[in-house]
Amino acid sequence: MENMSNWSKTSWHNFPALQQPKWPDKQRYDEIVQTISELPPLVFAGEIRDLKSMLAKAVKGEAFLLQGGDCSEEFSRCTAPNIRETLKVLLQMAVVLTYAGNKPVVKVGRIAGQYAKPRSADMENVNGMEIPSYRGDMANSIEPDAEARIPDPARMLKGYHLSASTLNLLRAFTRGGFGSLHRVQAWNQEFVKQSPMGRSYERMAVQISNAIKFMETIGIETDIPRLKEVQFFTSHEALFLGYEQALTREDSITGGWYDCSAHMLWIGDRTRQLDGAHIEFLRGVRNPLGMKVGPNYDIDTILKIIERLNPENEAGRITLITRFGYRDIEKYLPPLLRAVKKSGQQVLWTCDPMHANTFKADSGHKTRDFENILSELRCFFELHWVEGTVPGGVHFELTGDDVTECIGGARQLSDAQLGQRYLTTCDPRLNAEQSLEMAFQIAEMIRSS
């Protein structure tokens, strides 16, 4: 068993931490981390435990995880309409998936703190200039200017405050009736009417309406808090460890440590070294943890990491988010499924069909094709069914906005149209229509299972 007596929220300092911004002024950085550590936590440990127990159900196939949001949130886009639209599309997707899968959908946003990005190179070439890479709004500015790219720790403080504002609005919306079943279903009917693929989605939309009507007919009140309030959780990549450390607090009820910057945190594919600082930090906090696993994985290392992060083999603690690409998933997923199954480790398996399906379009935009995303998802479900493991969730980069970043979908968004509303500062996201369409497509897959 792992030894917790040698863990503290600063023990990661003794391990190599990849992907950290080079903060120019160490003293200023320390001051900001100190300031954040004195501010209130963003989420409460009790909520984190609720999420973990819901994820534990998903491990057994009794619930399904829907995780999604921006690749990289931006300070300048922290507005009520943006937050509302992202929440709205996730809730719409969740209703479709709940009905099709016949099980509760656990809703987790990549939101209210997704401000830190890992990059493949320290420098990038923008308009012929070699400047430091953009590492997310919590580190530096997207502006293509060497000065603006110098990391500024005050951005972490700003990120904290904007996360708090975002979370506040999410809580208001989800408690205040915005996400009531009736409203979400009305939005879905509207979508079906407008989609060029409307006909094929209409059947399910009608069935959902009928199910709601049936409940009302037999006297089940649908205008009740349980159906008007939704539980919504937040997540982001735990990347900048000083920030995460500052929000790590000891829970007065259980005495355990929780990273209260979000309910769920994930470890990126680039920072999951067994003896790296990220694993060291995260092993000591009790949040549910996601871990991205891309094609470069080594099975033994993955098993050792899981063991280190979850020595008690608690269900709901670990979510493996696989991202192999539609061409390679058949090669990489089955051996991993078998090895983890054999080890007896309880993990929740989810699929990120975005990150290994990125390519550069002829127009020069970084994009993803709806068909490839769907194809990786289809393989994900089928491979799990073959192996007898549980395909327990999906992970998307999406927005409620009407962007043109991924090609394909019912409107056949083309390469030539990518320039119209290409707004992402990092990876291309599904727009609202494409996201909902994805949900209907997944629904078809899981219903025929």
Minimum CB distance to Co ion smaller for 72 or for 82? 72
- Residue spans of beta strands (DSSP E) within 30-78: 64-69
The answer to whether residues 134 and 153 touch, using CB atoms and an 8 Å cutoff, is no
Q: CA distances (Å), 152 to each of 24, 85, 141, in order?
A: 8, 30, 9
Minimum CB distance to Co ion smaller for 157 or for 426? 426
Minimum CB distance to ligand PEP smaller for 228 or for 270? 270
Residue in this structure with the two tokens 């987790």, named with its chain if needed = 108
Residue 116 makes contact with Co ion by CB under 5 A: no
Query: Site residues for ligand PEP, window 298-337 (CB under 6 A)?
Result: 323
In sign, the C-alpha dihedral spanning 193, 195, 197, 201 is: negative
Distance separating the N- and C-terminal Cα atoms of the chain:
39
Q: Segment near ligand PEP (CB under 6 A), from 159-167, 209-217, 264-272, 439-447? A: 264-272
Minimum CB distance to ligand PEP smaller for 155 or for 355? 355
Dihedrals phi, psi of 108, to nearest 5 degrees: -130, 120
Q: Could you give the CA distance from residue 110 to residue 265 in angstroms, rounded to a whole number? A: 10
User: Closest approach of Cβ 427 to Co ion, in Å?
Assistant: 3
Q: Could you give the CA distance from residue 139 to residue 156 in angstroms, rounded to a whole number? A: 7
Query: Site residues for Co ion, window 68-97 (CB under 5 A)?
Result: 71
Size of the site for Co ion (CB under 5 A): 2
Amino acid at the residue 338: R
Minimum CB distance to Co ion smaller for 157 or for 398? 398
Amino acid at the residue 36: I
Dihedrals phi, psi of 368, to nearest 5 degrees: -140, 150
Minimum CB distance to ligand PEP smaller for 104 or for 118? 118
Residue 292 makes contact with ligand PEP by CB under 6 A: yes
Select the residue interacting with ligand PEP from 61, 118, 144, 256 (CB under 6 A). 118
- Taking residue 279's Cβ as centre, other Cβ atoms within 10 Å add up to 21
Minimum CB distance to Co ion smaller for 158 or for 366? 366
Residue 278 makes contact with ligand PEP by CB under 6 A: no
Residue 249 makes contact with ligand PEP by CB under 6 A: no
Q: How far is CA 133 from the centre of its chain?
A: 22
Per-residue contact string for residues 394-433; x = within reach of ligand PEP by CB under 6 A: ---------------------------------x------
User: Closest approach of Cβ 117 to Co ion, in Å?
Assistant: 7
Q: Could you give the CA distance from residue 137 to residue 141 in angstroms, rounded to a whole number? A: 6
Residue 107 makes contact with ligand PEP by CB under 6 A: no
Rounded to 10°, the helix 432-447/370-387 angle is 30
| CB neighbour list of residue 50: distance below 8 Å, 6 or more residues apart | 231
Rounded to 10°, the helix 154-175/80-101 angle is 50
Query: Site residues for Co ion, window 377-436 (CB under 5 A)?
Result: 427
Select the residue interacting with ligand PEP from 71, 212, 410, 438 (CB under 6 A). 71
Residue 355 makes contact with ligand PEP by CB under 6 A: yes
In total, the chain counts a number of residues equal to 449
Chain position whose Cβ is nearest to ligand PEP: 268
User: Residue 355's closest CA among 387, 394, 391, 403?
Assistant: 394
Minimum CB distance to Co ion smaller for 316 or for 400? 400
Minimum CB distance to ligand PEP smaller for 142 or for 446? 142
Size of the site for ligand PEP (CB under 6 A): 10
Q: Which does 268 bind (CB under 5 to 8 A by kind): ligand PEP, Co ion, none?
A: ligand PEP
136's torsion region: left (phi>0), alpha (psi -120 to 50) or beta? left
Select the residue interacting with ligand PEP from 137, 269, 405, 433 (CB under 6 A). 269
Binding site for ligand PEP (CB under 6 A): 71, 118, 268-270, 292, 294, 323, 355, 427
